[in-house]
Amino acid sequence: MRSFDHVNAGSIREAVELLGRHPGKAALMAGGTDLLTVLKDDILPAYPELVINLKTIPGLDTVEEDDKGLRIGAMARLAEIAASPPVRGGYGILAEAAASVGTPALRNMGTIGGNLCQDVRCWYYRYPHRMGGRMICRRKGKGPCFVLKGDSRYSAVLGAGTCFAVCPSDTATALAALDARVRVTGPRGDRSVPVRDLYGSHGITLEPGELVTEVLVPAPPEGARQGYLKFTEREPVDFAVASVAAVVLVVDGRCAGASIVLGGVAPFPYRARAAEERLEGRLLGPEDAREAAEAALREARPRGMNRYKVTVARELVRRALKGDG
Ligand SMILES: Cc1cc2nc3c(=O)[nH]c(=O)nc-3n(C[C@H](O)[C@H](O)[C@H](O)COP(=O)(O)OP(=O)(O)OC[C@H]3O[C@@H](n4cnc5c(N)ncnc54)[C@H](O)[C@@H]3O)c2cc1C
C-alpha cells in the first residue's frame, strides 16, 4: 500500500473542512473494509494524500426509533443493525439485508454509511495495479466498459448506460424499498437525499466534499408485509447475484400499495414499478405473484453471459411476493 496521511476527525464539521482543504485528494474511512482494499490494490489512478477516519466522531453510531421511524447514524455497524430489536421488529428487510453482508468480521467493522458508499465489485474495475497495471475503463473516466467485449456474468441486466457494474450494497436495496433517505453534510450545509437517488449510472451521486451522516427510515404503514431474498453463487459469503426487497401493504386481503426493489442487477437499486402497478388491488395469489415477477424483469437487457440473472431475479420476486422464500 502507498503511504498517506491519516487524521482522526473529531466532528462532522472537521471532516467536511478536511475534505475541502484537500479537494479530490482525501478519502473518508468508516470501517475501512472496502476502502483499504481499494487502496491496497491501487485500482484508481488518483490516490489520496489524506485518509479521514470517521470512527472518532462521537454520536454517529446510534440506532434510534421514534414515532416517525428509524434514525441510524452513518457509523452504526452492520452487526448492530442486524441485531437491533427496533430494526428487526418493524424494518425486518433492513435487518435481513445487513445480516446478509459478508462475514461476521465484516459486519462488525463495516458501517451502514460505508456499505451504502462502497465501490463497485466489477472485476475489470477492481483489477489490481500490481498485476500488470490497473484497467482504465469508462467508470474511471475514459476507455471502454470491458464488460461489453468481456465476461459479463455478474454485470447489469437493467438500467445500465455506459458502465455495466452493479450496485453491490445489500442495505441500499432494502433501504430503497423502505423509502429511506440519507442526510448528507457538505460545504454548503445539509441536504436529504432519497436512497433511490443516491446512485447514478456511474456510482454514488454525492457532491465533492460531502459525506453521509445519517439514514432516516420512515415507519412502514401498519399491516405492511416485508420480504428480502438474496441469491448468491457462494454460501455463506458473497455479494448478490440478484436480490429483492419488497414491502406490500395489504388491506382486506388485497394489495393497497407495493414497493419492490431489485439488487445486484442494475447500477442502482432498481425499482420495479411495473411489478408494483401489476399488484395494485390484487389478491396476491400465486398467479398475481407470477405476473408481477414477469413485469419486474420486462425491461431487462441481458448480455450473453448474464441471462441467468433475469431468471434468478424473476424467481426471487415471485417467491418474495408469495411469501415462500
Ligand atoms: C469478502 C467480502 C464480502 C462482502 N460481501 C458483501 C455483501 O454480501 N453485501 C454487501 O453489501 N457488501 C459486501 N461487502 C462489502 C462490505 O459490506 C463493505 O466493504 C462494507 O460494508 C463497507 O463499510 P465500511 O464501513 O468498512 O466502509 P469503508 O471501507 O470505510 O468505506 C467504503 C467507501 O465508502 C466511503 N464512505 C464511508 N463512509 C462514508 C460516509 N459516511 N459518507 C460518505 N462516504 C463514506 C469511503 O470513502 C469508501 O469509499 C463484502 C466485502 C468483502 C471484503
CATH number of the domain encompassing residue 313: 3.30.390.50
pTM assigned to the model: 0.97
The ligand 1 atom nearest the CA atom of 109: 26
> In the chain, what percentage of residues exceed pLDDT 90?
96
What pLDDT, in 10s, does the model give residues 131-143? 999 999 999 999 9
- Given this model, what pLDDT does residue 110 score? 98
Beta strand 242-251 with 199-200: parallel, antiparallel or unpaired?
A: unpaired
Identify the pLDDT of residue 235: 86
Q: Is the pLDDT of residue 237 over 80?
A: yes
Report the chain's C-alpha Rg in angstroms: 20
Ligand 1 atom 11 nearest Cα: 169
What domain range is 316 assigned to? 224-322
Q: Is 306 a member of any domain?
A: yes
Please count the structural domains in the chain.
1
- pLDDT level of residue 223 (50, 70, 90 thresholds): confident
Q: Are 184 and 191 in contact (CB under 8 A)?
A: yes
* Spacing, Cα 169 to ligand 1 middle (Å): 8
Q: Provide mean pLDDT across the span 229-258.
A: 95
Residue 290 within a domain: yes
Is the predicted pLDDT of residue 149 greater than 80, yes or no? yes
pLDDT, residue 325, reads 61
Question: Does residue 254 fall inside a structural domain?
Answer: yes
Write the residue with the smallest CA distance to atom 33 of ligand 1: 118
Per-residue pLDDT band at 323 (split at 50, 70, 90): confident
Cα(240) to ligand 1 centroid in Å equals 14
DSSP letter string, 65-115: EETTEEEEETT-BHHHHHH-HHHHHH-HHHHHHHHTSS-HHHHHH-BHHHH
**pLDDT band at residue 172 under the 50/70/90 scheme:** very high
Pocket of ligand 1 (CB under 6 A): 27-35, 54, 74, 100-102, 106, 109-111, 113-115, 117-119, 168-170, 211-212, 237-239
Within a domain: residue 82?
no
Four-residue CA torsion sign, 77, 83, 85, 86: positive
What's the mean pLDDT in 18-30?
97
Ligand 1 centroid to residue 36 C-alpha, Å: 10
Q: Is residue 242 part of a domain?
A: yes
At 107-131, the pLDDT tens digits run 999 999 999 999 999 999 999 999 9
Whether 55 has a pLDDT exceeding 80, the answer reads yes
Domain-embedded: residue 42: no
Atom 17 of ligand 1, nearest CA residue:
115
* pLDDT at 197 (0 to 100): 97
Tell me how far the alpha carbon of residue 229 lies from the centroid of ligand 1, in angstroms.
20
- 324: pLDDT strictly greater than 70: no
Instruction: Give the torsion sign (CA, 279, 157, 206, 51).
Output: positive
Q: Looking at the domain assignment, is residue 273 inside a domain?
A: yes
Average pLDDT over residues 29-49: 97
Q: pLDDT digit string (tens) for 187-219?
A: 999 999 999 999 999 999 999 999 999 999 999
pLDDT of residue 65: 97
Q: Of all protein residues, whose CA lies closest to atom 52 belonging to ligand 1?
A: 102
Residue 48 near residue 29 (C-beta atoms within 8 A)? no
In a domain, 308, yes or no: yes
**Please, what is the average pLDDT of the chain?**
96
